[in-house]
Structure 1
C-alpha cells in the first residue's frame, strides 16, 4: 500500500488498544512503525536493476521479522517519543509491534506479492482484495485516526478498525465475483484456464482486471462486478517462450537469469512486448484493466556481454484518456458487451 495508508493503519491498531491518556503516543509510534518495513526500498544496486524487486516486501515484511523490526523501531523511537510521553520501553515496543505487524498483512491484501513466510518460503502471497491506492479505504481511516487522537477517544480508532475489516471483506467478495465472471468469460470462449486471477483496477474495488492463461496465451479483460455485471473485452498475448521469442539469447547469460528473476516476481505472467521485441513485460498491470500495455518491463540488449544485466523500465502514462475511460467503466459505460469476444493474438 501507499505510505499514507500504511501509516494510518499502523496508527489505528495501537490507538484501538490504548487508554485515553496514551492514544496520541500510540498513534504516533504505531504510524511510524507501520511505515518502517518499506525502508527496504533503499536496498538497491547501481549494477543490478532487479535487486530491489527481490528485497522489496521480503524480510522486512515477513511475519517472523515482526518482533525484530518492531524492537528496532522501539529502540529508535523510545527517547524522542516514548519516554517523553511517559511510556516505558516495553509499552513503546508494544505499540510499535502492533503498528509494524499491520504492514505485511495489509500489503498481502494487494496484488504486488509479499513474502510473508520468509525465510521458509519464497512464495509471494497476494490476496488481490484492494488496490495499492484506494482513497475510499484510506480517507475514512485517516479521519477516524486523527479524530481519535484529537479527542483522546480510542473508540474512534476501533470504529476505524471495523471500517478496515469491512472494506477488505467487501473487496474479497468482489474479487470472488470477478473471478467467477472471468471463469464464465473463459468458458464462453471454449477455454479451460491453466490459471486465472482477478485484480482490482486503480483506486477502486468495483472494476477488476481478469487475466488467465489458456494454451500458452494470456487473455486480459475487465469486468465490473457490481451492481450488475459488465464485461469489457480486452486482448490476448502469447506467454514468453525465450527459445522461441529470443533465439539469440544465451541461456547461460546473466540476462537469461534476469528473465527468470523477473518471471518469479511477476508470478509467471510475462510476455514479449509486441511493440518492443527486446522488452519483457509483466502482463498483470496496466493503466486500464482491459489492456496489456505494461506499467513496467525489463529491456534486454542482444549485443550485451554474458555478465550484463537487463534494464528495468517503468511506464506511467496516466493521461486523461486513461482516467476518463476508467471512469466510464466504473459507471458501467463504454465499449462493453453482454457476450465476450476473444482478443487477437
Structure 2
C-alpha cells in the first residue's frame, strides 16, 4: 500500500499496543515502524531492475523480518525513552511490521510473507491506493490523537478505525468474488475457452474490476463495474512468447517471467523487444491500447540480457483517472 496508508495503520497499531502507557509516542513509533519494510525500494539504486523487483516486498515484508528486527528496534527505543519496557516496545514494532506486510498481501504485487519459502502471497483485493480504506481510518486516528492517553474515547476511536478498515478489507474479498463470477459468466456466454482468470480492482476503488484471461495463444483483458448494464467486452493481446525463445535459458529472463507469474506479453516495436507485465494492466482504457503500466525494454547482446523499465507519462496517468471515473459509472 501507499506510504500514507502504512503510516496510518502503523500509528493505529502502535496506539493499540502501547498508547495507554506512552500516549502519542506510540503512534509516532508505530508510524515509523509502518514505513520501515518499504525501505527495500532503495535496492533499485544498487542493483539491476530484475534483481530489485525480486527483492521488493521480499525479506523486509516477511514474518522472519518482523521476529528478528522487532526486538532490535524495541531495544534501541527502550535505551533512550523514559518508558523502558523492552518487551512492550518490541511488541509495538512486531505488530507494526507484521500488519504492514499483511496489508500489502492484499494488493496485486503481494508479499513474501513466508520468506525464505519461495511463495508470494497476493490476494489482489485492493489497489495500492484506496481512499475508502485510508480516509476513514485516518479520521478516527486523528480523533484518537486529540484525546488524552488515559481516556476511554481515545481507545474507542482507535478501535473503530481498526474495525472499519479491517471490515472494508474483508468486504473486498466478497467484491472480488462477485466480479470474478461476472467475468466467468461472460466467458461462458461467449463460449470462450480459457486456461485461467486473474482479477484485481482498478485504481483507487473496488467498484471497477479488471480481469486477465489466459487462452492458448493470447490474453484477453476486460473490465467490469458493478454499475454496468451492458455485457463485458474483452480485448485480445497475443502472447508472442516465442520472441523470447533465443533467451529462454537466460537467468534474468527466467526471473522476469517468474516475477510476472507468467502473465506477460512480448511486443516488438522498430526491432526492439518489450516485456509487458499484464498484472497491473494498462495506462489507458482505449480499445487495443498498448501502453502497459509496467513495460520493460529488453536490451541484449552476446553476453547478457537486461530489462529497463519504460518511463511513465504523468499525462497518461491523469487521462487514465478520468477514463476510470467514467468507466466506473457503468458501460
Q: Aligned match of 2:276 in 258, 275, 281? A: 281
* Whole-angstrom CA distance in 2 between matches of 1:200 and 1:292: 20
Cα offset, 1:289, TM superposition = 6.2
Q: Aligned match of 1:271 in 251, 262, 265? A: 265
Show the counterpart of 2:321. Answer: 323
Higher RCO structure (Cα 8 Å, ≥6 apart): 1
Cα offset, 1:145, TM superposition = 1.3
2:140 equivalent to 1:140? no
Any conservation in 1 of the 2:104–2:111 contact (CA below 8 Å)?
A: yes
Show the counterpart of 1:126. Answer: 122
RMSD, aligned α-carbons: 2.3
Cα offset, 1:14, TM superposition = 2.9
* Whole-angstrom CA distance in 2 between matches of 1:40 and 1:320: 28
Cα offset, 1:312, TM superposition = 2.7
Question: How does 1:32-111 map onto structure 2 within 5 Å?
Answer: 32-44=32-44, 48-79=48-79, 83-84=81-82, 86-111=83-108
Cα offset, 1:239, TM superposition = 2.2
* Whole-angstrom CA distance in 2 between matches of 1:245 and 1:307: 16
* Whole-angstrom CA distance in 2 between matches of 1:229 and 1:77: 56
**TM-score, with normalisation over the residues of structure 1?**
0.85
Would the alpha carbon gap of residues 308 and 220 (structure 1) be closer, same or farther in structure 2, given more than 3 Å must change?
Answer: closer
Would the alpha carbon gap of residues 266 and 289 (structure 1) be closer, same or farther in structure 2, given more than 3 Å must change?
Answer: farther
* Unpaired segments ≥5 residues, structure 2: none
Show the counterpart of 2:251. Answer: 257
* Unpaired segments ≥5 residues, structure 1: 337-345
Show the counterpart of 2:189. Answer: 188
Higher helix share: 2
Secondary structure of 2:296's partner?
strand
**After the TM superposition, which of the residue ranges 89-98 and 17-26 deviates more from structure 2?**
17-26
* Whole-angstrom CA distance in 2 between matches of 1:33 and 1:231: 46
